[in-house]
Structure 1
């Protein structure tokens, strides 16, 4: 498999391209984002491509289509695909207990009783785990010094997994959905199965076959500079900054933009990679088209593991192994097809696959959180929800 996406002169049907352009132009004019790259593919053909704004506002460096970004949770599909490839090879099963591969990973329930966490629970975020940024400032994860995979923690993946295991679960595995560090634990499982570091495993299983550049370490100065929402314009990020979320009770996400440049930084399977928009599009298109996995695993990855009651991306959205899955388009007020899968990353990214329309959308910005769940990401989703070409 090559992972190549064909270039084509065909454009998006109707006013979709104009609506995307308008969303980009408006967001830049209103200083809601600093820069972006937006790609749309239909049935394996690239039908929209645009880079706009600045990769580095202070130096005047313009955004380019090949500018790499810090991916944050857009890392999760890469880790999930690596796990699915191991399943395809018969080296891993969704029904396996996590302790088969990580014997010391034995977090207990609140009453002290043992819990049985399966690989499938990790993949669907139904393991009873959490994220530090979702908890109070003095929450259990903060007290245990659990890293969310975006901060300046310089220990090791194994050390962070041990910290995660030291905190009681907030629910019995399989009994509810909670977005969490589960994909970091899955990364530890992948390391145990392959006997290699997570970055090497993902490169061998996913990136090399698809000719992708995405990686856990990205030196040099070509990365898009990250910014956070601010008035009158986004603010350049610095190490150790905590950016409050527009919802929830937690302290916000703690960022270290320099983390990706440090080769010794532990690989966060949930948040630690950098890559180009074309890397993300190629990965998602390979999954959609069947160029990466056999069909039963492709279907399993998009199957809702929890229904609309999860409200994973708002009303009408459940959750699959791959990301949020659209259960009820009417309830979600979405023009995307039922069964579409979508997610994003807190540095300012969003992506979606509409399987019925054979359409994949990738939108990477360098502005948190506008590019992930602000007006910009909603406008891109609306602009790309029309009929297939």
Structure 2
């Protein structure tokens, strides 16, 4: 690998590391992540480490999972990673391996910080649903109620050739629910339509981004098709308009603080930079991984753009807490952030049959999945991977972060690495299969 350093090793093996020592190590990580809130809130009782068999998970199968992950690191396919698995609210696997920064010789840690990109979307969606619950936002509200420029949006007659296409009025305005479901007709920040018009710049604040989005015609009538899009960033601006708070301040007060997710943010402060995992590029040949710049995301400073679609960083322990909240009906360690009925609405499919299958591109349909409010949701387990159940929900990030939760087995799993382009989908599939195979009941 890059610096010719051997990968750090700490094998997951109950025979080599006693259960008590392992629980002490994991507990120390969890207590550190809870420290900013310890003065006012009791120590966490959910997501504490436990012996795998005590919650119906096979230690032997987890060792197979661990071996598979370490092989990817040892073979130089990824620089390093962190993976976590929890069942029935107890952590049965939390392991780090490889390097945060090969060149600096900085080993990966259980609380390493990763750019989670599109795994920001579920966090934004939860914040929106809090305001729906409070009666401050309506799912059927037109977006123009909060951002007036959305009332004047047009639609491309020929979205395949937008530069030469005439426009027309849409059949209706996009609504808040349309944006939650990616059926509002917006495009994606990385697609040519927005890139050629310089819609997104990290040097410009959220309100500027949203006004630029409103100035570009829609790709289709709202409600007519599923298009993976910049919708969650628009929702972040709606939150600002409704609450009068900056988007990050609202999240800190109402989501990240109550759930004790201290390392989830839009930037990495100076006292945490030593925990930041660097991005590595996958070589086309058999060469070494090479570090790449932070890809236009100034995450070590306070970025002007607080992007609800893709702007946050997080850790495996933090995101385990986030997804566990959904399995626990909106409450974690006594802190309720959303009612159980609205949690259920977020994690069920809302895409009508006529718009299925959805997919990031026509060439890559997700035949087994629909979309909830911020998550994909498995709706046809027969078309999914081994062991996957209907109702499983989650989402991924474009730099190699993966997350899912399964209500049927009460299991949460997170895998985080940093690689560009994100060629880790085969690794995530193997990870998921081995997690499911480790369940004893």
Deviation per CA, 1:151-177, whole angstroms, max 9, x where unpaired? x62011111111111111111111111
Quick one: which of 136, 142, 145 aligns to 2:198?
145
Q: Give the whole-Å Cα distance in 2 for the aligned partners of 1:172 and 1:194.
A: 29
Runs of 5+ unmatched residues, structure 2: 1-40, 157-166, 332-336
Question: What RMSD in Å do the two structures reach over aligned CA positions?
Answer: 2.0
Quick one: which of 258, 262, 269 aligns to 1:219?
269
Local SS of the residue matching 1:117: coil
Q: Give the whole-Å Cα distance in 2 for the aligned partners of 1:127 and 1:19.
A: 43
Check if 1:235 corresponds to 2:281: no
Q: State the match for 2:320 in structure 1.
A: 281
Q: How far did 1:202 drift?
A: 0.7
Deviation per CA, 1:161-214, whole angstroms, max 9, x where unpaired? 111111111111111111110000010111111111100011111011111111
Q: How far did 1:234 drift?
A: 2.5
Q: How far did 1:15 drift?
A: 4.6
Quick one: which of 313, 337, 349 aligns to 2:401?
349
Alignment coverage as a number of residue pairs: 364
Q: Give the whole-Å Cα distance in 2 for the aligned partners of 1:377 and 1:333.
A: 11
Check if 1:61 corresponds to 2:106: yes
Q: How far did 1:27 drift?
A: 1.1
Q: Give the whole-Å Cα distance in 2 for the aligned partners of 1:368 and 1:378.
A: 18
Check if 1:310 corresponds to 2:379: no
More moved, 341-350 vs 112-121: 112-121
Is 1:323–1:342's contact at 8 Å kept on the other side of the alignment?
Answer: yes
Q: State the match for 2:180 in structure 1.
A: 123
Q: State the match for 2:427 in structure 1.
A: 376
Structure 2 vs 1, CA of residues 264 and 132 (structure 1 numbering), >3 Å: closer, same or farther? closer
Structure 2 vs 1, CA of residues 130 and 15 (structure 1 numbering), >3 Å: closer, same or farther? farther
Q: State the match for 2:146 in structure 1.
A: 101
Matches within 5 A, 1:1-389: 4-11=46-53, 12-13=57-58, 15-106=60-151, 107-110=153-156, 111-114=167-170, 115-133=172-190, 135=191, 139-147=192-200, 153-213=202-262, 214-220=264-270, 221-222=273-274, 223-230=276-283, 231=285, 232-239=287-294, 255-257=295-297, 259-290=298-329, 291=331, 292-306=337-351, 308-311=356-359, 314-370=366-422, 373-386=424-437, 387=439
Q: Give the whole-Å Cα distance in 1 for the aligned partners of 2:98 and 2:422.
A: 14
TM-score, structure 1 as length reference: 0.88
Higher relative contact order, structure no. (Cα contacts within 8 Å, ≥ 6 residues apart): 1
Q: How far did 1:370 drift?
A: 4.3
Is 2:202–2:303's contact at 8 Å kept on the other side of the alignment?
Answer: no
Is 2:150–2:173's contact at 8 Å kept on the other side of the alignment?
Answer: no
Is 2:205–2:304's contact at 8 Å kept on the other side of the alignment?
Answer: yes
Local SS of the residue matching 1:47: strand
Could you say which structure has the larger radius of gyration? 2
Q: Give the whole-Å Cα distance in 1 for the aligned partners of 2:139 and 2:289.
A: 42
